[in-house]
Amino acid sequence: MARLLTLATAFVATHGLRLTPIGPFSPFRSAACADGSPLGSAMAGLTQSKMPAFAMEMSKLQLEMQANPNGMPDLPRIRRLASDLSDATDDWGQMLARMSLVDDFQAREYYKMTSVWAEKQGESLATIGLMMRWQADSMLAFADGKPPLPPPPGVNLEKLARQQQEQQQNGPGSMLSQISAAAAVDATPFTGKEAAFESAVVREEYEKLCRDHAGIVRLGESFGTFDALGKVAFLDQLKFIEERWDVFFSRFALLGALNPDFEAQTSAFLNSMGMDADQFREILDETHVLMREEAEAQR
């Protein structure tokens, strides 16, 4: 066992980190973020239904207009899409506000990750909201025969045009389109039928790791009420959980015992978001550093 642990640690150092069930991919959900909760339902409805449907309809409309540039645009359809985007913009802003204000750690973590990711895309949550609202208003003005609307401060039209061109040529080009394109991950990391689980030691370690992870998720439901030292201590415990998952996953990778469905789905998710596992972990680590700094600032 000691030999296998050493090999697992070396595997992490040599091959980099795998996408383990941490952060947004944790199978243990808080009451605030669980399926069926108000926040969970709002997030699923926006990212898995409203925005993908809007993106698909917009792509169809653009292709039709390119195929028939001299034809009459379908103004009622454009007006309907503008209304859909406006509603989605309202939902998006309300969802982010709720995630940033609740006590629950998972909700705050997702909000912070979204903010960090936006900054790495050269955007911000504020400018994304402005861009969405301006696009909706511009579509409505076009459908009503009104003059084009000037972009609001903070919206770079040249950058927006480049992103749309990249989206058409290479897939997702902006944070918003990447969120819409992201596939849902519903596979579990392990099927439970792997040969390694025949070992009582491995099975006990796995069950304890799951219990500890689920426990810290429950504890994090009150994260916003903790004092500064409590928040730092919580982040330390969470980091330890992540490190334990890294080692456990690496051992299973050495044995070739990871669930291929989980690996395929998480890889597809990251590809749709334009990042790899290392970049995901970098964003998650930066998120936790920011949350730690905010806690320290409360002293």
Last residue in a domain, options 181, 209, 243: 181
The candidate with the shortest Cα–Cα distance to 190, out of 249, 107, 258, is: 258
Residues 118 and 200 placed together within one structural domain of the fold: no
- The single-letter code of the amino acid at 208 is K
Structure tokens at 67: 């195929």
71 found inside a domain: yes
The candidate with the shortest Cα–Cα distance to 19, out of 267, 289, 209, is: 267
**CA-CA distance, 101 to 36, in Å (whole number)?**
20
Residues 198 and 275 placed together within one structural domain of the fold: yes
78 found inside a domain: yes
Q: CB-based contacts of 272: which residues, under 8 Å, 6+ apart?
A: 171, 172, 178, 181, 182, 183
Rg of the chain, C-alpha, whole Å:
22
> Strand, coil or helix: what is 232?
helix
Residues 176 and 194 placed together within one structural domain of the fold: no
Q: Which pLDDT tens digits describe the chain residue by residue (299 residues)?
A: 333 333 333 333 434 446 788 888 888 889 998 878 888 788 777 777 787 788 788 888 888 888 888 888 889 999 999 999 999 889 888 888 999 999 999 999 989 988 998 888 788 888 888 888 998 999 999 999 999 888 888 677 777 666 656 555 444 344 444 544 444 566 778 877 888 888 888 889 989 999 999 999 999 999 999 999 999 999 999 999 999 999 888 877 666 677 888 878 778 778 777 788 888 899 999 999 999 999 999 87
Residues 104 and 14 placed together within one structural domain of the fold: no
Count of domains forming the chain: 2
- The single-letter code of the amino acid at 215 is G
Residues 135 and 161 placed together within one structural domain of the fold: yes
**CA-CA distance, 126 to 134, in Å (whole number)?**
12
**CA-CA distance, 182 to 24, in Å (whole number)?**
12
Last residue in a domain, options 128, 154, 181: 181
Residues 156 and 203 placed together within one structural domain of the fold: no
Residues 172 and 142 placed together within one structural domain of the fold: yes
Last residue in a domain, options 159, 181, 203: 181
Provide the residue range defining the domain that includes 255. 2-27+188-297
33 found inside a domain: no
What DSSP character marks residue 46?
A: I
Q: What own/partner pairs with CB < 8 Å and gap ≥ 24 does 233-242 have?
A: 234/105, 235/288, 235/291, 235/292, 235/295, 238/288, 239/288, 241/22, 241/209, 241/212, 241/213, 241/216, 242/20, 242/22
9 found inside a domain: yes
Residue 171: φ, ψ to 5°:
100, -155
